[in-house]
Amino acid sequence: MARHLITSAIPYINGIKHLGNLVGSQLPADLYARYLRARGHEVLFLCATDEHGTPAELAAAKAGKPVDEYCAEMHAVQAGIARGFRLSFDHFGRSSSPQNHRLTQHFAARLDEAGLIREVSETQMYSPQDGRFLPDRYIEGTCPNCGFESARGDQCDNCTKQLDPVDLIDPRSTISGATDLEMRETKHLFLRQSAMKERLADWIDGKTDWPVLTTSIAKKWLNDGDGLQDRGITRDLDWGVPVQKGDAPWPGMEGKVFYVWFDAPIEYIACAQEWVDAGKGTDWERWWRTDKGADDVRYTQFMGKDNVPFHTLSFPATILGSGEPWKLVDYIKSFNYLNYEGGQFSTSRGRGVFMDQALEVLPADYWRWWLLSHAPENADAEFTWENFQASVNKDLADVLGNFASRVTKFCRSKFGEVVPEGGAWGEREQALVRDLTDGLAAYTRQMEAIEVRKAAASLRGLWVLGNEYLQEAAPWSTFKTDPETAAMQVRLGLNLIRFYAAISGPFIPDACAELLAALKAEDADWPDDIETALSTLAPGHAFKVPDVTFRKITDAEREDWQTRFAGAR
C-alpha cells in the first residue's frame, strides 16, 4: 500500500467547461484516483476552481455581479457538475480561499528572501474608460504589417505576426471599445526563473519516463531563445491575492495582486489545507511536506498541454526557490486536445458539448467511457456523434450490459433469482481463468502506467471473454440434458458480472454500483485471484435481475443532438 497525491489542473471559473476540458485533466485524474483507491492505496485527490484574473472580473461584470459573488456561484455550479460526472475529489477547493491567500503570500516572501524576486518598472496600456490596465489580447487595432483591422495586441490573427500593442494602429479596448488608451508606467514583481534554469533543467532531465508531450514542452521553454525567462507574478487588478510579504506589506506594491498563474498551482497545497479545515482530513502536511511524512508520497498531476509550462517550470521554481521541503511532482500526465465534429470546441460560439448539457442528455458513465477510451494521449482526438453512438452502443450496451442481462435473465427463468447449485468446473472454465488472469494483468499494468486508452481496450477485452465463454458453454443447451453443468455455467456467469463490476468502477462507477447492488455484492473489492473471485457468489445467494445497465442511443437521438450542439448555445 502506497500513498498517492493526485491533482487535476484547476478549471477556470468563468463558465462551464466543455468535454475537451474534462477529458484533459479532471476525468483521467479521477480514473487514476479511483483505480488506486480500489487497489487499497491511500489517495488524496484534489481539485479546485481557478478564480483570479481579468476574465473572471469581466465575466462577473457581464453577469452584473460583484466578482466574489459571481465566483462563489460559479464554484457551486462547477462543483455540482463535477458531482454529476462522479469526479471523486476528496476536496474541490477555491483558489480564492483564505488558505491560498496566506500561502501565496508566504511563498512570495520566501522567494524574496532567497533573492529570487526582482522589481521591474514597465509601461503598459491603460484604459481610463475601463479603469484598468489591459492585457495584450484585450487590445485590438489595425495590424501594421498587413492592415487587418481586428488584430489583437499579442498577435495578428490574419498574418500571424507577433505584435506589441503599441504597434497597433488605432488601438482600442475590446472590453469597452474605448480608444483613449494611454501608456502608463507600472511596477511589477518578477520571479527570477532564469536563476533556477540549471536546477530545473537537471530535474526535468531526470524525468525520462514522462510523456514526450510533457518533457518536450518543458525543454522548449528552458532552451528557447535566451533560455528560461523571468516571469511577472503580479498584476494591476482588484480581484486576487494582495501582494504582501507574508503578513507584512510590500512597499510599492500597494493595490496590486499576484498573477493567477502564481497563485493557482499554490492552490494545490492550499486545497489540502481547505480539506482539513472542512473537517475531511486531519493532517495536510503529511501530503505536502517531505519533512513531515510526504517523503513516501507519489504525486501525480493531470493537465492539458497548454498547462505544461506552468507545472514543469513556474510552479517547481516556486517550490524549489522557497528553500522549504515541499513535495515536488513525481509524474506529469498531459493530454492533447479534443476536437468536435471536424473543428474545435468553442466556448464563445457555443460549439460542442458542455459538461452540463452532456449530463442532460445521458448519464455520466456513457460520457466517461467514451471520453476515456478515446482520450487524446498521443495526438488531438475528435468527438463525433456517430463515433460516440457506435462506441457506447457496442461497448457498453452490447458487450457489457447485455452480458449482465443475458446471464441474470437466463438464471431467473431456469433457476430463479438465486445463485444455482451443482456442477463442477472443467477445462473450459480453467481456460477462461487463464485468459482472464492474463487480461487483468495487462489492464492493471496499463492503469498503473496511466495508459488510458489501452486500459480501456483491455477492459473491453475482458468483457468480451465473458460472451465468448457463454457462447461456448451454451448453458441454454446444456440445461436440457445436464442441468447441473448448466447451473455451474450460470453460477460462473453471475460471478463474472460481479468480477466486471469490481474492476470497471474507475471507468463507469454508477453502472458498477448498480450491478453490484443487483447482485447484492456491494462489498466486492479488487480481485487478487481470478479463481477465487469467480467463486465468491456461492450457491443459494439471492440476487435481482438488474435494470437495463446501458441503453442504446438511437439514430434519431444522435441526429437531434448533432443539430442541437452545432453552435450558438
Partner RNA sequence: GGGCCUGUAGCUCAAUUGGUUAGAGCAGAGCGCUCAUAACGCUUUGGUUGCGGGUUCAAGUCCUGCCGGGCCUACCA
Answer for which of 59, 71, 196, 213 binds RNA (CB under 7 A) is: 213
Answer for which of 77, 201, 464, 513 binds RNA (CB under 7 A) is: 464
Give the nearer residue to RNA in terms of CB position, either 209 or 523: 209
Candidates 215, 199, 506; CA nearest to 333 is: 215
- Spatial separation of the C-alpha atoms in residues 274 and 52, rounded to whole Å: 18
In whole angstroms, the minimum distance from the beta carbon of 61 to RNA comes to 14
In whole angstroms, the minimum distance from the beta carbon of 45 to RNA comes to 20
551 binding RNA? (CB under 7 A)? yes
To the nearest 10°, the Cα dihedral for 367, 371, 374, 377?
A: -170
549 binding RNA? (CB under 7 A)? yes
Give the nearer residue to RNA in terms of CB position, either 518 or 537: 518
535 binding RNA? (CB under 7 A)? no
Place of cell 463490476: 501
Helix, strand, coil % in the chain, rounded to nearest 5 = 50, 15, 35
In whole angstroms, the minimum distance from the beta carbon of 467 to RNA comes to 3
Candidates 381, 268, 421; CA nearest to 23 is: 381
Q: Give the per-residue SS3 of 27-41.
A: HHHHHHHHHHHHCCC
Candidates 505, 500, 507, 510; CA nearest to 373 is: 507
- Spatial separation of the C-alpha atoms in residues 538 and 494, rounded to whole Å: 10
- Spatial separation of the C-alpha atoms in residues 194 and 196, rounded to whole Å: 5
In whole angstroms, the minimum distance from the beta carbon of 182 to RNA comes to 15
Beta bridge pairs of residue 119: 189
Contact 40, 3 (CB under 8 A): no
Residue 47 assigned to a binding site: no
Q: What distance separates the 2 farthest-apart alpha carbons in the chain? A: 92
122 binding RNA? (CB under 7 A)? yes
170 binding RNA? (CB under 7 A)? no
Ranges within 289-348 binding RNA (CB under 7 A): 305-307, 309, 336-337, 344
Answer for which of 443, 550, 561, 565 binds RNA (CB under 7 A) is: 550
Cβ-defined contacts of 421-424 (< 8 Å, 24+)? 421/487, 421/491, 421/539, 421/540, 422/483, 422/484, 422/487, 422/488, 422/539, 423/484, 423/485, 423/486, 423/487, 423/488, 423/489, 423/491, 424/488
Place of cell 482526438: 381
Strands (E), 76-219: 91-94, 117-127, 132-133, 139-142, 151-152, 169-173, 182-191
Ranges within 78-107 binding RNA (CB under 7 A): none
Give the nearer residue to RNA in terms of CB position, either 88 or 93: 93
In whole angstroms, the minimum distance from the beta carbon of 463 to RNA comes to 8
Residue 71 assigned to a binding site: no
- Pick the stretch among 131-139, 269-277, 359-367, 431-439 that binds RNA (CB under 7 A): 131-139
User: Per the structure block, which three cell numbers stand in for 217?
Assistant: 514542452
Ranges within 9-68 binding RNA (CB under 7 A): 12, 50, 52-55
> What is the residue type of 293?
G
Answer for which of 41, 292, 406, 520 binds RNA (CB under 7 A) is: 406
Residue 143 assigned to a binding site: yes
- Pick the stretch among 104-112, 254-262, 281-289, 556-564 that binds RNA (CB under 7 A): 254-262
In whole angstroms, the minimum distance from the beta carbon of 375 to RNA comes to 9
Answer for which of 34, 101, 132, 231 binds RNA (CB under 7 A) is: 231
Answer for which of 35, 85, 126, 221 binds RNA (CB under 7 A) is: 221
In whole angstroms, the minimum distance from the beta carbon of 456 to RNA comes to 10
409 binding RNA? (CB under 7 A)? yes
Place of cell 498577435: 155
Answer for which of 374, 491, 498, 541 binds RNA (CB under 7 A) is: 374
264 binding RNA? (CB under 7 A)? yes
Give the nearer residue to RNA in terms of CB position, either 39 or 453: 453
In whole angstroms, the minimum distance from the beta carbon of 6 to RNA comes to 20
368 binding RNA? (CB under 7 A)? no
In whole angstroms, the minimum distance from the beta carbon of 94 to RNA comes to 13
Specify binding-site residues: 143, 146, 156, 159, 347
Specify binding-site residues for ATP: 347
Specify binding-site residues for Zn(2+): 143, 146, 156, 159
